Structure 1
């Protein structure tokens, strides 16, 4: 009996190893295909979800496949990351592991492009150490109270963002500020609404505050606030979403701006309408 148990455990271990090994080979094949499909410099990370893999491989249908790529450059943006989840993927194992062209039929796809704070900072002149912060309804109500602007409380938290950075004052100040002169640095806090148009993000400043807790700056002229607001009103073009997914949403998540959307009925492979090459 003991020998039988040991033999079964060894067999189970071999089957698991074979399952993971086959999955790794298939993931590598999909990675190379997605690199070509998305026009990437490096192979993206690919994970075929579900266990056991071989059960899915025999049927040639996979419930979901995750694709992730990072350090992507688009114009001035240099650190974009891209994620795609492919659902209901049809791809025979022999085709995936073979040497010929790879073609994947995808029922649905969800794509996300993430813009980190460092990339957004590159688009905002005279501002350094930029942070992207999420807002909830309570934070907007507090901001409305602090700024005496009730309109802030009416903003949609999911389409709003707080941007905090270190700004450089203009060489010629419109009015004297205690202990500060042109060229000095000051904390800038901007509450902005997020808009999405033709795949581009646009930040629309709704409130600007200068000076943090350590700086008490009364009577800040509106011209100076508008000067900083103009710098934060920038269009952000993160490029197209993976697999020509139509962007439908933008929001601040975990210190980044995310653009996301979905598509259905895709064919991925050489010569397909979505091929990057």
Structure 2
């Protein structure tokens, strides 16, 4: 009997710890299940909106869609989200000959968006937002095809007064001027191609030059204007071929152009442009909008 009574006080704390451990397991499992259900529901709603936008004639692939607001289930019934981010790749650009064809990535961010019943989103569903930011991005190879400079590459240098600029903590750098563009172009008097080869090819033997220039970008009548201002001689790795003085102006001119009109989300108009990393970006902002997925990237009308 004394031994039995001495063991009794030890069992109660053990049972309490076991009960607490099971309660914690139940809470954790419940939280994980709720998170999985929330993420699954959000993923289905994002997929529905993505399919609705893919119904637009100018969107060849299912876009990426992110609904802002956590948890999703708290926003599902009202259909109201802090933001909706859409990114559609592969949208064709007119005025670009040859293969592969020129394409852009058409992005839109709807601010304070109302989608209605997320279970019934379709191409004709009207989406409301207090404002929208539209961006259309083209990468360096696409810009090269548009400008006829096959090996063209865009680089966004860090500001000269920013120590350590361009590191991982900075993200992608952005600039409207002082942008470095590199590529190979024929010197005046040389053909655009030689036996089908562009100037960047080793088989092209006519006089040519590979240089890096400093350029600025702007928007004129909704189209991106690129203007090479000088040969680049900054700290970034670059090409600095010796261009005869009488050819310098002509070579710089090869890196200056006005691009064809780029498709913007829901017909937004580009207001300004910049470089971001190795991409060129056209940006437009609009006030309150009411839009449909099927109108996301309708083909642009024919024009210059």
TM bucket (normalised to shorter chain) is: 0.7 to 0.9
Report the Cα offset of residue 260 of structure 1. Answer: 0.7
- Residues 1:86 and 1:8: Cα distance change in structure 2 (over 3 Å): same
1:161 aligns with 2:183: no
Q: What is the match of residue 152 of structure 1?
A: none
Measure, in 2, the Cα distance between the counterparts of 1:9 and 1:137.
Answer: 48
Measure, in 1, the Cα distance between the counterparts of 2:52 and 2:30.
Answer: 33
Structure 2 gaps of 5+ residues are 1-18, 162-174, 192-203, 300-304
Deviation string 1:144-164 (CA, Å, 9 cap, x unpaired) is xxxxxxxxxxxxx63342211
Output the aligned Cα RMSD.
3.1
1:59 aligns with 2:78: yes
Report the Cα offset of residue 171 of structure 1. Answer: 4.7
Question: SS where residue 43 of structure 1 aligns?
Answer: coil
Indicate if the aligned counterparts of 2:156 and 2:179 stay in contact, CA closer than 8 A: yes
Q: Which has the higher strand share?
A: 1
Structure 1 gaps of 5+ residues are 140-156, 174-180
- Residues 1:169 and 1:241: Cα distance change in structure 2 (over 3 Å): same
Q: What is the match of residue 188 of structure 1?
A: 211
Match of 1:264 among 287, 293, 298: 287
What TM-score results when the alignment is normalised by the length of structure 2?
Answer: 0.70
Q: What is the match of residue 155 of structure 2?
A: 133
Deviation string 1:3-60 (CA, Å, 9 cap, x unpaired) is 3322222222221111111101110111122223573112211011222111111332
What TM-score results when the alignment is normalised by the length of structure 1?
Answer: 0.77
Match of 2:136 among 90, 113, 124: 113
Indicate if the aligned counterparts of 2:59 and 2:89 stay in contact, CA closer than 8 A: no
Report the Cα offset of residue 167 of structure 1. Answer: 2.5
Q: What is the match of residue 271 of structure 2?
A: 248
Q: How many residue pairs are counted as aligned between the two chains?
A: 245
Q: What is the match of residue 229 of structure 2?
A: 206
Measure, in 2, the Cα distance between the counterparts of 1:166 and 1:239.
Answer: 25
Indicate if the aligned counterparts of 1:130 and 1:163 stay in contact, CA closer than 8 A: yes
Q: What is the match of residue 79 of structure 1?
A: 103
Q: What is the match of residue 255 of structure 2?
A: 232
Measure, in 1, the Cα distance between the counterparts of 2:121 and 2:286.
Answer: 29
Q: How does 1:160-179 map to 2 (within 5 A)?
A: 160-171=178-189
Deviation string 1:172-222 (CA, Å, 9 cap, x unpaired) is 69xxxxxxx971442222222222112211112222479945x5x38x132
